[in-house]
Structure 1
């Protein structure tokens, strides 16, 4: 009789590991009455080919004129131990039928009771004969109940592996079938599947995913490679890990040297410094714009709303008596109501809603505040407005979120934590690193090293004046 023991540990959500008393003995009844039972580990799949259930054996023997009930056969099998157990199913081989009717004692299994491992490198193991190599894995569960579920699933997997052998490794194409991809992600995954679809998930490394960038998008930047190749491919692999227990993957980001080298190869800089909008640019834009686009740019500059959130506003998203506007969920942030100034609310209420046309279907959409049907529909119009106003063209992002954070933190001196909360950034370090732009002229900074410090005149005390006369 084989005893498989699993000793695991619980990793809490805080990252600390704590051992839990969850040594779980799982008995796999197995005899060794024939050469087949003494066969190698990989040959044990013959059990499924030769074994039959007691009900099936009763039918076979009835055809041979032997009258025996299923209950009697089960009892004799239990008494002699001459059977296999797969889950709740009892399987009996022809050789074990001989043992049952001979009344002989079943041989002991070549597997003996497993030693329980409780040390820091505890794992799943057996002793004597053929054994499984000890291993240690995190359950990745935040509760003891979740850890115990993992133990049960892992034990069943090892029993299944013992009985039927190793299952075929899942490929990247198999993992794709488990992944619920958005239309955008599905489009990104098509060339990736063509390149590595036949590879097993265990053979795919982070370096391999990063190497797909130069092959699939040779003229793109490393940021594009990461966003459109590494990220969706990693999501597919790790989703399979969550569902099927396949290998997990973690990919090291491209470093600055890889980014600079790729920029040199393609002859174009990535991560170009953005120019944030200021109040003067906003006012010049609004003087040359129609009421809809003027209100749109003011709304994004005041609230740090993204362009897709802004153009998606509908009349029901306004609470005029509270000066609140509902912006939809985006970038991991939930839908929320944000406060605007009374002047901004008056501008929004003064705009008659428009029903834009869907460019793909040609059908009219629901009425929207600013009248745009997509997050890119504003581009051409804004370029015309900027040209008419005699100002440089800024897209919605630098005019909105970049302008919002730079205006508050750099120009008005608002603390970053307050500004980040108002702009719905969960971590103030992110906007400080990306959205805050220094505006001091570099020449002024260099000139400070050539300017003599102004020395304060010492305060003249009566004693000092007397000592000077002396």
Structure 2
């Protein structure tokens, strides 16, 4: 049955109903003018027939692809911005070059990293998700060059000095970020029901990648959290700060009181990764423990060379026992 127009009793707006190639359709044209309503359903019929003849890619709009992406409960970070930019643009017309031009238009003065993260990544994620549903072809986009800077990590010694000059909640917050690798947003949003001091575990809700992970709580962190457990209320935040903005002034004051360099919240996360890498923990394990998206990201961001030129001493730092010396002397005489 082709699409037909009708008005509801007492209504002025034209609605349509019918079917196209077995698919039932009905809805509002949004107009009270019959000529416009007839044009509306004509274009609607053309669109659906074109989709049947040429495949879904012929009619797939970015807004539709984004809706599929949201229904899949994927990360929505920066998604609203690209949705506003592409709107109802046909996905088939969004090329690699078009995405790069969009990034430059939206962020004319930004770094390559910002353009990649805010525009290319979410746009590509939406389209490639649609591709996984056989709605379009996958999209590859050349990224803008990124200049990786060596990030300044805090050390355990810095953390201890900071904690000594802080109130118990701020001290525990700092200790938590350094010993679990949590982002500041993840740490501040930690709830008491997510903490088990007996099992030495905390559930961290990873805001950036939309996932969760269980973090081990070392003894020093258990002690720091135990110092604020008296304020515990179900549903309340562990470290009491509502946002990073409320914690930041106290953070700066603690650095000044301790007489130590000011490092940001995120430097604690840098310290977690850098310290583990320098202690010989492999990047794959570090990325898993700290909730990074990949071991490659950890290696590229935190795996910079150590400045200690005496590291070669570690090659011979195995304790030498008298028995081992005698054994090596015996081997030497035998070869001689």
1:307 to partner: Cα distance = 1.8
CA distance in structure 2 between the aligned counterparts of 1:374 and 1:161, rounded to whole angstroms: 53
TM-score normalised by structure 1 residue count:
0.48
Give the equivalent residue in structure 2 for 1:341: 218
Check 1:183–1:240 CA distance in 2 against 1; reply closer, same or farther (3 A cut). Answer: closer
Work out whether residues 311 and 368 of structure 1, in 8 Å CA contact, stay in contact via their aligned partners in 2. yes
Report whether the alignment pairs 1:434 with 2:301: yes
Find the structure with the greater CA-based Rg: 1
Structure 1 alignment gaps of length 5 or more = 1-46, 50-85, 89-156, 260-269, 356-364, 446-470
Report whether the alignment pairs 1:392 with 2:261: yes
Report whether the alignment pairs 1:312 with 2:189: yes
Give the equivalent residue in structure 1 for 2:142: 252
TM-score normalised by structure 2 residue count:
0.65
Check 1:228–1:389 CA distance in 2 against 1; reply closer, same or farther (3 A cut). Answer: same
Work out whether residues 188 and 232 of structure 1, in 8 Å CA contact, stay in contact via their aligned partners in 2. no
- SS state of the match for residue 298, structure 2? helix
- SS state of the match for residue 326, structure 1? strand
Report whether the alignment pairs 1:367 with 2:236: yes
1:422 to partner: Cα distance = 3.9
CA distance in structure 2 between the aligned counterparts of 1:420 and 1:382, rounded to whole angstroms: 27
Check 1:433–1:159 CA distance in 2 against 1; reply closer, same or farther (3 A cut). Answer: closer
What do residues 212-237 of structure 1 show as CA deviations (whole Å, max 9, x unaligned)?
Answer: 12222111111111111122222333
Give the equivalent residue in structure 2 for 1:161: 53
Using CA pairs under 8 Å that are at least 6 residues apart, name the structure with larger relative contact order, 1 or 2.
Answer: 2
CA distance in structure 2 between the aligned counterparts of 1:367 and 1:314, rounded to whole angstroms: 6
CA distance in structure 2 between the aligned counterparts of 1:389 and 1:207, rounded to whole angstroms: 51
What do residues 233-291 of structure 1 show as CA deviations (whole Å, max 9, x unaligned)?
Answer: 2233334444572333221222x3xx5xxxxxxxxxx5432111112211221122111
Instruction: Return structure 1 stretches of 4+ with deviation > 6 angstroms.
Output: 165-168
1:395 to partner: Cα distance = 1.6
Give the equivalent residue in structure 2 for 1:301: 178
What do residues 109-157 of structure 1 show as CA deviations (whole Å, max 9, x unaligned)?
Answer: xxxxxxxxxxxxxxxxxxxxxxxxxxxxxxxxxxxxxxxxxxxxxxxx9
Work out whether residues 50 and 58 of structure 2, in 8 Å CA contact, stay in contact via their aligned partners in 1. no
CA distance in structure 2 between the aligned counterparts of 1:439 and 1:166, rounded to whole angstroms: 53
Work out whether residues 184 and 266 of structure 2, in 8 Å CA contact, stay in contact via their aligned partners in 1. yes
Work out whether residues 61 and 89 of structure 2, in 8 Å CA contact, stay in contact via their aligned partners in 1. yes
Work out whether residues 77 and 208 of structure 2, in 8 Å CA contact, stay in contact via their aligned partners in 1. no
- SS state of the match for residue 99, structure 2? helix
CA distance in structure 2 between the aligned counterparts of 1:203 and 1:159, rounded to whole angstroms: 15
Give the equivalent residue in structure 2 for 1:185: 78
Q: How many residues align?
A: 267
Give the equivalent residue in structure 2 for 1:104: none
> Which structure shows the bigger proportion of residues in helix conformation?
2
5 Å-filtered alignment, 1:66-465, equals 160-161=52-53, 169-176=59-66, 178-180=68-70, 184-189=77-82, 191-193=84-86, 197=87, 199-243=89-133, 245-254=135-144, 256=145, 259=146, 271-332=148-209, 334-351=211-228, 352-353=230-231, 366-399=235-268, 401-410=269-278, 412-416=279-283, 418-425=285-292, 427-440=294-307
Query: What's the Cα RMSD here?
Result: 3.9
